[in-house]
Amino acid sequence: MRADVVGLTERLVAVDTAPGSATRGLVEQLATELRADGAEVRVQLGELDGQPQGNLVARFGGDGPAGLLLAGHLDTVPWQADQRATITPERDARRLYGRGTCDMKGALAAQWEAVVSRAGRLRRPALLAWTWGEEIGCHGAKALTADPALLGDVRDAVALVGEPTDLRPITAHKGYLIVRVVLHGEPAHSSDPWAGTDASVGLAILLRDLHELRESLRREGREHGDARHQPPGTTLNTGLVSAGTARNVVPERAEVVVELRPVAEQDGAELRRRLRACIDLACAAVPGLRAEVEEVEDNPAFDQPHAARLVQWLEERLGSPSGAVPFYTEAELYRRGFGTPVVVCGPGSIANAHRVDEWVGLDELAAGQALYADALDAFCG
């Protein structure tokens, strides 16, 4: 039995869906309840690191061409028992604390309550699409877009992704590209460093050139970038760096994980060419050194054209111009995979997500439910 939007959020938060946890049990429970609410429900099964996962698609209003897709993810970031944001939700007069309250189980509850409140008056079908693994690579969304038939006919639909945006319409964010570079040399005793091939020397050269590339991208962003983003251009970070196995052994292995956040206008092939040039220069500077390069993630930048009716409607309904956010979402995967206009818009602030005291305002949840209900009236009524 559902409670109000706050009580429903509390129920969702109470199920642990942090990395390393399963979502399939929650999906099966939600499928049962949504069927009782009159939805046709489809579950797409998955697995990660031995944990059973699942995507859920619930269609209200029959099999015809859908008008609106309300989307979100079931998983959260990790939590610890000594934090305030755990899977035991806590509310005060104005806020609900707990892992996932803001990002983004509160939005799921608001979507659910909204669609049930409008289910009896839909002229066009409405869908809920909730996925697993967004926080660790958008695994569920990629699986869902690989099999769009699960959603039925969405050719003329529009989509809202309920990430926390303070209920501002978001039409752009940067992409996310992760590249792991492993340099392989030859070990030797440290008493004679020249007897081996020192991978750490190549790493030092590579880091220097990567940071020169970062500054070049920064200058290009200032001159030609997208002012909706701050900073306005593509960024590069070398967040994970390691070399060697022991203090008395010439390092035979060195590694750097490169994170790139490209703007939509960035030429992906050219960016990869420039990255590869840095790697090749490092190898050329250290005879015998070779590189192993792996693209770990490649998620496209989001850029929804402003002319879409959904964007215009949201700007008028919310009294707020559309903009960009610095974090990644599933929006572009859906825009490309389903061919529908997509806007990211949900209750709560990203500033309150992923914190030890993650929270969402009770009035924000109510406002999110009201917005989604109005969207159902506008696009399915």
CA 156 to chain centre: 24
* CA atoms of 344 and 159, how far apart (whole Å): 8
Between CA 79 and CA 84, with CA 82 as vertex, the angle to 5 degrees is 70
Given the residues 134, 209, 330, 358, select the one marked as catalytic. 134
* CA atoms of 29 and 144, how far apart (whole Å): 19
* CA atoms of 369 and 371, how far apart (whole Å): 5
Is 134 a catalytic site residue? yes
Considering only CA atoms, which of 58, 64, 164 is closest in space to residue 114? 58
Given the residues 75, 226, 330, 332, select the one marked as catalytic. 75
Q: Specify the pairing of strand 40-48 against strand 51-60.
A: antiparallel
Distances in whole angstroms, Cα of residue 117 to Cα of each of 5, 61, 91, 374: 12, 13, 24, 11
Q: Specify the pairing of strand 126-131 against strand 68-73.
A: parallel
CB 66 within 8 A of CB 59: yes
Is 223 a catalytic site residue? no
Residue type, 125: P
CB 104 within 8 A of CB 18: no
> Considering Cα of 104, then 108, then 109, then 110, what sign does the dihedral take?
positive
Please identify every residue annotated as catalytic.
75, 134
